[in-house]
Amino acid sequence: MKSFVYLLILSFAVNLMGLDPYTMSLDDCKNYIKVNNLTWEAGITPYSYLPKEILKPMLTGFYLPIKTDAKINNKVINSKTDKPEYLDWTNKNGTNWMTSVKNQGSYSGSWAFATLGTWEAMININSNDPDIDWDGSEQYLISCYQTNLLDEMLAGSGPARWIMVNGVPDEACYPYRASAGNCNDRCSDWRERLKFIKSVTDVCTNPDTEAIKAALRNGPVGSAMQVNLLMLRFYRGGVLGEETPSTDIGYPINHEVVIVGWDDARNGGSWKWKNCWGAAWGEGGYGWTQFGTSQIGYYSWSCTAYSEGTGYEKESSARTIPLQFNFTITPNPVKTTAVVNVMMPERSKANISLFDLLGKHVLTIDNSQLSRGINRIVLNAKDLKPGIYIARINAGKYIDSKAILINK
């Protein structure tokens, strides 16, 4: 009886009273799983007892787009009519077609790892050779990816479509740094080392089990999903379900993975997916999530192999996307934290501040040099009173203001 009461108290504390998921113990997590009838196994991972400043960026690797113009056409994915109950590209006909599990470290780069992880596997599959294992440079993609569509920049197939035009070299050209980096730090012969995605298909914007399965018959599928701190810190195996969002970042979708298969018999149907938190996390770097839970399947996409680059004679304007200034804050309304997104056409000193409706300065969000391209700054609103505020950026000739609502 005492144990049952304790479990009820623990569940209440996590869901309503805000028991800090950054500091929960393994025993607390196991009890939380038990009282909520969840079916995954908790244990020690490399992230179980790391500090908040390291863990938090790992939960912000996907930015939910405000809009999308993607044309969904599931009919072109596959003409096969068979409907297998099980598929796994890590063990398809006894062969692992996936490349090795990577580790994004303490940086919000899951979108880059999911993009290249999907494409690298397709190189193996389309070449009918599981041992090619070409290793693309996530750092190059992170540091050089440019787009005007700030609200869609890291959503779904966006980076893959960029690679179709601009290409990505191998990992050795620009090794991973777990930071925004600088595109100019790439290797000197990067042009000659580029490879290009051949084609990209948007599978579905909202989760569609049958459409994703149809795409998976050709190869892995990139997908957004929701991850939380308990999964990051303690997941060792089993099937994840409808988890309580235990993160203070405010996003309903915050991570991108590679769906590699499914099993209709496991927990009523579950997806198997490749993560980017290293092979010591989960089941050798992979996880399982029940169909229709944890937002998995949103903004899913697939691609086909690559075309070899022949090198650029010069920087082609057709392959260079000019940048336009853009200033957004997501999410809005804000509960505890938000991300200030600034697209800069050029490097500039900037001041980003928060004012109340009477024009009184409330908070300096950032006062530093912003680089050309995408800049992301965290707005911590924990100590702000609820209400409407004005966020203002002054970056030389680029000036803009946005109204934000603090709603706790």
Q: Using CA atoms of 105, 110, 116, 119 in order, give the dihedral in degrees to the nearest 10.
A: 140
On whether the CB atoms of residues 301 and 203 are closer than 8 A, the answer is yes
Exposure string of 22-52, with b = 16+ CB inside 10 Å and e = fewer, is: bebeeebbebbbebbebebebeebebbeeee
pLDDT at 251: 53
Distance between CA 137 and CA 100 in Å, rounded?
A: 13
Mapping DSSP to helix (H, G, I), strand (E, B) and coil, where does residue 198 land? strand
- DSSP code string of 124-168: HHHTT-TT----B-HHHHHHH---S-GGGTTSTTHHHHHHHHH-B
Q: Which fold has domain 323-406?
A: Immunoglobulin-like (2.60.40)
Kind and range of the H or E element at 28? Answer: helix 26-35
On whether the CB atoms of residues 7 and 28 are closer than 8 A, the answer is no
pLDDT at 9: 38
The CATH class of 55-308 is: alpha beta
Mapping DSSP to helix (H, G, I), strand (E, B) and coil, where does residue 11 land? helix
Q: Tokens at residue 394, please?
A: 């002054």
Q: What totals of helices (H) and strands (E) does the chain contain, helices first?
A: 8, 16
Cα first-last separation, the chain: 36
Assessment of whether the complete model's pTM goes beyond 0.75: no
Residue 208 burial (CB < 10 Å; 0-12/13-18/19+)? middle
Query: Per-domain residue ranges for the chain?
Result: 1-37, 55-308, 323-406
pLDDT at 243: 62
Distance between CA 384 and CA 325 in Å, rounded?
A: 28
Distance between CA 400 and CA 391 in Å, rounded?
A: 8
Same fold? 55-308, 323-406: no
pLDDT by residue, tens only, the chain of 408 residues = 333 333 333 444 444 345 688 888 999 999 988 888 889 999 999 999 999 888 888 887 765 554 444 333 333 334 344 578 999 999 999 999 999 999 999 998 999 999 999 999 999 999 999 999 999 999 999 998 854 444 444 567 888 988 888 889 999 999 999 998 889 999 999 988 999 998 999 998 888 999 999 999 999 999 999 888 889 999 999 999 866 544 444 456 789 999 999 999 999 999 999 999 999 999 999 999 999 998 899 889 999 886 444 332 233 333 444 567 889 898 889 988 888 888 888 888 999 999 998 889 999 998 888 877 778 788 999 899 999 999 999 998 999 999 999 987
